[in-house]
Structure 1
Amino acid sequence: MLDIAADLRRWLAEGRTFALATVVAVGGSAPRGPGAALAVDTDGTVVGSVSGGCVEGAVYELCRAALDDGRTVVERFGYSDEDAFAVGLTCGGVLDVMVMPVGADSPARAVLRAALADAGAGVPVAVARVVRGPAALLGTALLVRPDGSREGGLGGAAVLDRTAAAEARALLETGRTGTVELSEDGARCPGGLTLLVESSQPPPRMIVFGAIDFAAALVRAGKFLGHHVTVCDARPVFATAARFPEADEVVVDWPHRYLRRTATDARSVLCVLTHDAKFDVPLLAVALRLPVAFVGAMGSRRTHADRERRLRGAGLTEGELARLRSPIGLDLGALTPEETAVSIAAEIVAVRRGGTGVPLTRSGTPIHRDGWPPRPGDATAA
C-alpha cells in the first residue's frame, strides 16, 4: 500500500471510495513482494500493480466486486500446467492478495489516511493489518509509530493491539515489511492470525566520499536506487553543488570527521572513492566499526593491499576488515564513470538482496530474494 501512497493520499483528499488490493504473501518466483498494491476507485480508475501484469485483470475484477458487496477477501493466484496462460503466474510463483473496500464509513479509512500522511511527510510509520484470521478482523488496521503511539485497532481484545504494536515496532526499526504470525496465547485469538506489517522509513542514506568524476555518476545511480545521497569531500573547490546537482547534500569536511557526527543506520551505504590514504584510512577506521549495510572503497588491488596494511596498523580487527568491499563494485569490465557506477550499484543491490553477481543463465538460484539479510529474531521480511 505504501508504494502507492501519493495516489492514495490524493484519492482520500478527494473523498473517493476505492478498493485496495495488497500482496500479503508470496511463494516461489513472484514478481512483487508483500506490500505491493493496486487500487481501483468507483469510476474504474486504477493505480499501482500487484504482479507486473500477470494477474492484474483478475485483481481488478476482485476490486470491482469488493466495491459492490463491501466484503474483504484474500485470493490466491498460482501457476499450474493446466492453465499456465490463464489467470495465474506463469513464472511459477504464488501470490496471496487481500482486497478490501475503503469507503467513507470504513473503520480502516482513518488509519490509512494517517499512515499515508506520515509516510508522505517522511515520518517513520508502520501499518499492521489482519490478513488471516476471523472474518470479523480481516482487513482491520493499526498504525504504530516509533514512540509507541498508535491509532486504530484490530477489533479484538486490548492484548491483541499491544502484541501487534510490539511486533510492528520491531519491523519498523529496520524499515522492513513482512508478515507476523501471532500465536493463540499471545494474541488471545482462537486459531491465531497473521498480520501484514508495512513499514515506511525515510530513504536510506548513501554517502559518497570523494568529489571526483566517478562520484557524479554514482550519485545518479544512488538516486535511481532510491537513496538520499550525500557527497562529502574536504576540498571546497571540488565539493560544490554545481558539480553534483543531483545530490541531496554536498558537504565540505574531512570525511572521517563528518562520518563521526552524521546519522547512519543499518540501511546506510558508504562508498569511499577518495583512494588517497590520508583520507580513506581514517575514514574507513570509523566506517568499518559502524553498524551500516555496506562499506566499499575504490582502488586497485595494490591500493587495497596497502590500505588493509594501514588499517591493521590503525587497530582494526580481521572481522572488521572483512566487512570492507574493496575494490568496490562487481566485475563488469567497467571503464567509464557511468559503467563504474553501474558496477558499484550492482554490488550494493547484490549485498542487499543476497545475490551472487553471477549471470542468471548460470546461477541456478531463485531470481527473487528477500532484502537485507534478516537478523536473528526478525519476522519474515520482504
Structure 2
Amino acid sequence: MDELYRKLLAQLEEGQDTVLAFITEGDGSIPRTTGAYMLVGREGRIFGTIGGGNLEYQAVLHAQELVQEKKSEYREYDLGTGEGKGLGMVCGGRVKVYFYFMNGAHGEAESLAQALAAQEQYRSYWIFFALDGTGIRVLEKEAWEMLPAAQEKAGHCRILELDGKTYYAEEFCYDGKVYLFGGGHLAQELVPVLHHLDFCCIVLDDREEYVDKALFPDAGQTMLVDFTKLDEILSIRKNDYLVIVTRGHRCDADAEAFALRTGASYIGVVGSRRKTKYVREKLEAQGFTGEQLDSVYAPIGIEIGSETPAEIAISIAAQLIQIRSAKTGKRKGAHPALHT
C-alpha cells in the first residue's frame, strides 16, 4: 500500500489528474475482493489491479473517461457469461467499483502523506474515502476506537456514516513484528518478501557482517546479539513472529529455547528433519515439554517442494500470511499487501 500512496502523491505533486478505482462490495465468484485498488491516469493504468481480465479493462477505460470529466462515480459490474450477461467473464459474480477522482482539491495529499507515515512506521490506521468524492480521512487506531462505529463488528472493510458523510473505510493493522534470528542467505531473501507483504522485520545475528544494514535495506532494524543472552535485550509480544534461520544447530537451539519462553504466537525453525530432531532432543533435555515443542513450526514454511533460499523464503512468507490471516480474522483481500 505504501507504493500506491507514493505514486498517488507523485501524481498530485505533478498536477496530474488521477482516478483511484477500488472494489467496495462484491458477491459470488469474483477475481478480487473488497479493498483491491487500481490507480489510473490519462494514459491508462498506473499501478495496482482490481482483478484483471475484462473487468479491469472496462474499469480502466471508464476511469480514463472520468479523468477527462474530472468526476467521481460508482459503477456495478456483472461478471456473468452468455448473451446479455455483463462482461462475459467466467466468474459469474458482481462487484461495485468506486472511481475516486482526485487532483488535490480536497486536501488528499495531506491525508495520503499521513497514511504513508503510519504505513512506514507500522502503526495501525483506518483510511476513509468519501463516496461523494470530497475528501480522504485517516484515523490512527486510538482515534478510531473512540468512535461509535468502532464498536460495530462489521469487518475490516465497510461503508459507514461519519460526521454526516458516507465513506468507504478500510483498516490497515499490524499485529506483530517478525524477528529473524540469523542474517544469512535465507534471511536476505526473506526480508524483502516480507517487507512487500507489510511485515516489519528485525534481523538479529551474532556476526557483525550479517547485520549490516546494507544487506537489509527493507528491515526495520538489525541487531548484533549473543544468542545465549537474548532474554537480556529483547521484549517479545504475543503477536510477534519468531523465525529461526541461524547458521547452525547450537544457535538454533539457543534461539528456540529463548523463543519458547516468550509465548510468541508463531515460532518457526528452518532445517532438515534430522536437524529438527537433534534440536528437539536438546531442548527436551533442558526441560521443555512435548506440548511446547509441538507448537513450533519445524521444519518451517508451507511444503511446496522448495530447495533454494529464494524458494524457501516464499514458503515461509506463505505460512506467515496464513497465520496472520487466522489471527486477525481478515479474509484474503483485506490486507494491504494484497491490494497493490
Q: Same fold (TM over 0.5)?
A: yes
Specify the alignment match of 2:249 in structure 1.
Answer: 276
Specify the alignment match of 1:296 in structure 2.
Answer: 268
Specify the alignment match of 1:148 in structure 2.
Answer: 143
Report the alpha carbon displacement of residue 57 of structure 1 after superposing the two structures with TM.
2.4
Q: What fraction of aligned residue pairs are identical, expressed as a percent?
A: 17
Contact 1:167 1:180 in 2 (8 A): no
Contact 2:240 2:265 in 1 (8 A): yes
1:252 aligns with 2:224: yes
Letter in 2 for 1:223: P
Q: How is 1:23-34 mapped onto 2 (pairs within 5 angstroms)?
A: 23-27=23-27, 30-34=30-34
Contact 2:126 2:169 in 1 (8 A): no
Q: How has the CA–CA distance of structure 1 residues 13 and 194 changed in structure 2, closer, same or farther, with 3 Å as cutoff?
A: closer
What is the TM-score normalised by the length of structure 2? 0.72
Specify the alignment match of 2:311 in structure 1.
Answer: 342
Specify the alignment match of 1:239 in structure 2.
Answer: 210
CA deviation profile, 1:16-67 (whole Å, cap 9, x unmatched): 33222112244455444433322334x4453122223442222123324434
Q: How is 1:158-237 mapped onto 2 (pairs within 5 angstroms)?
A: 162-164=147-149, 166=150, 178-180=156-158, 195-199=168-172, 205-211=177-183, 215-225=184-194, 226=196, 229-236=201-208
Report the alpha carbon displacement of residue 127 of structure 1 after superposing the two structures with TM.
0.7
Report the alpha carbon displacement of residue 261 of structure 1 after superposing the two structures with TM.
3.0
| Residue aligned with 1:308, SS | helix
Contact 1:127 1:143 in 2 (8 A): yes
Greater RCO, 1 or 2 (C-alpha within 8 Å, sep 6+): 2
- Whole-angstrom distance in 1 between the partners of 2:322 and 2:83: 31
- Whole-angstrom distance in 2 between the partners of 1:120 and 1:199: 8
| Residue aligned with 1:325, SS | coil
1:118 aligns with 2:117: yes
- Whole-angstrom distance in 1 between the partners of 2:119 and 2:163: 34
- Whole-angstrom distance in 2 between the partners of 1:307 and 1:221: 23
Letter in 1 for 2:229: R
- Whole-angstrom distance in 2 between the partners of 1:302 and 1:123: 37
- Whole-angstrom distance in 2 between the partners of 1:264 and 1:86: 52
Contact 2:12 2:103 in 1 (8 A): no
1:5 aligns with 2:5: yes
| Residue aligned with 2:80, SS | coil
| Residue aligned with 1:6, SS | helix
Contact 2:23 2:33 in 1 (8 A): yes
Letter in 2 for 1:10: A
- Whole-angstrom distance in 2 between the partners of 1:8 and 1:141: 13
- Whole-angstrom distance in 2 between the partners of 1:18 and 1:25: 22
- Whole-angstrom distance in 1 between the partners of 2:16 and 2:243: 43
Note the aligned Cα RMSD (angstroms).
4.5
Letter in 2 for 1:143: V
Specify the alignment match of 1:127 in structure 2.
Answer: 127
Q: How has the CA–CA distance of structure 1 residues 149 and 269 changed in structure 2, closer, same or farther, with 3 Å as cutoff?
A: same
Letter in 2 for 1:15: G
Name the one with the larger helix percent: 2
| Residue aligned with 1:373, SS | helix
Contact 2:2 2:119 in 1 (8 A): no
For residue 328 of structure 1, the aligned residue among 293, 297, 300 is 300
Report the alpha carbon displacement of residue 115 of structure 1 after superposing the two structures with TM.
3.2
Report the alpha carbon displacement of residue 130 of structure 1 after superposing the two structures with TM.
5.5
- Runs of 4+ in structure 1 displaced over 6 angstroms? none
In the alignment of these two chains, the number of paired residues is 327
- Whole-angstrom distance in 2 between the partners of 1:323 and 1:50: 37
Letter in 2 for 1:126: W
Letter in 2 for 1:118: A
| Residue aligned with 1:55, SS | helix
Q: How is 1:38-53 mapped onto 2 (pairs within 5 angstroms)?
A: 38-41=38-41, 43-48=42-47, 49-53=49-53
Specify the alignment match of 2:97 in structure 1.
Answer: 97
Specify the alignment match of 2:338 in structure 1.
Answer: none
